[in-house]
Structure 1
Amino acid sequence: MTQQTAEERPGISAAIVVCEGHVLMVRRRVSEGPLSWQFPAGEIEPGESPEQAAVRETAEETGLEVDAIKHLGVRVHPKTGRLMSYTACEVVSGTADVVDTDELDALAWVALAEIPEYVPYGLFEPVQEFLDGALTS
């Protein structure tokens, strides 16, 4: 079996959910290499936009209903090699909890100054720029 490249595998959509001066992060049960804490995310399904996938994955993983407000960018993730899309989202309703217990074991609302403790290798620059503005205003 041949290994698929980033272009052949479905893209991953991540939701950057900001609420009350914090960003939502989830901890996966199975780490993707050094990735443990990350944003709610999952594969983009056929016929689905990255924004729709971000909204769906957030609901499936955390039970939180969100709206996509801004597409932040796309890149091939340097740690996983997966094509990643990032979407800023705002909370519409619900309370975040670990709903998908097969995939997640924890979640946290993280303040801007705490992000390096959760993601020590740094964030994708457009995501960091968005959070710099969203979490300090």
Structure 2
Amino acid sequence: MTGVTDRVVVVGAAVFHEGRLLAARRSAPPELAGGWELPGGKVEPGESPERALVRELREELGVEADVRERIPGEWPLKPGYVLQVWTVRLLSGTPRPLQDHDALRWLLPHEADTVDWLVQDRPAVAEAIRRLSALPGTAAQA
């Protein structure tokens, strides 16, 4: 059987902490290495997207996080794969690049364009920055 149910969902986390957004630079696979993304990974069979995000952030960055709300839309990655993004609040731990990344940066809203985001992440990043800028106490100015 083919169709929508055969697609693989990849979840991304717009991690907000102290008025900043977390960006992660890919180290693998080679075709994505050097590009910046919202951290996350594939949803495993029988796993909810929210649970997958918590697991992936623990595995990739060594942090505990609280999944908040989904950013509307989804974006094609490669045939059969789509990206869905949620806003996430850091609960504990200091993010470290443990898997698939070689650098992390915390970006204020006006710094979002200082990294070379992967094409598929750009629409979600734009919406994440809009939401982050609207939070009380966030300095959105340059």
Give the TM-score band, short-chain normalised: 0.7 to 0.9
Task: Report if the CA contact (8 A) 1:33-1:80 is conserved.
Answer: no
Where does residue 64 of structure 1 map in the other structure?
63
Task: Report if the CA contact (8 A) 2:112-2:129 is conserved.
Answer: no
Task: Report if the CA contact (8 A) 1:74-1:83 is conserved.
Answer: no
* Identity across the alignment (%): 28
Where does residue 133 of structure 2 map in the other structure?
132
Change (3 A) 1:5 1:71: same
Q: Give the letter aligned to residue 96 of structure 1.
A: P
Where does residue 115 of structure 1 map in the other structure?
112
Task: Report if the CA contact (8 A) 1:6-1:83 is conserved.
Answer: no
Deviation at 1:28, TM superposition (A): 0.8
Change (3 A) 1:33 1:98: closer
Over the aligned positions, Cα root-mean-square deviation in angstroms equals 2.7
Which aligned pairs between 1:26-105 and structure 2 lie closer than 5 A?
26-30=24-28, 32=31, 36-77=35-76, 80=78, 82-100=81-99, 103-105=100-102
Where does residue 23 of structure 1 map in the other structure?
21
| Structure having the larger proportion of residues in helix | 2
Where does residue 13 of structure 1 map in the other structure?
11
Change (3 A) 1:29 1:62: same
Q: Give the letter aligned to residue 51 of structure 2.
A: Q
Deviation at 1:51, TM superposition (A): 1.4
Partners of 1:126 and 1:41 in 2: CA distance: 17
Task: Report if the CA contact (8 A) 2:16-2:88 is conserved.
Answer: yes
Q: TM-score when scaled to structure 1? A: 0.79
Deviation at 1:27, TM superposition (A): 0.7
Deviation at 1:62, TM superposition (A): 0.6
Partners of 1:6 and 1:114 in 2: CA distance: 36
Partners of 2:34 and 2:6 in 1: CA distance: 22
Deviation at 1:115, TM superposition (A): 0.8
Deviation at 1:55, TM superposition (A): 1.4
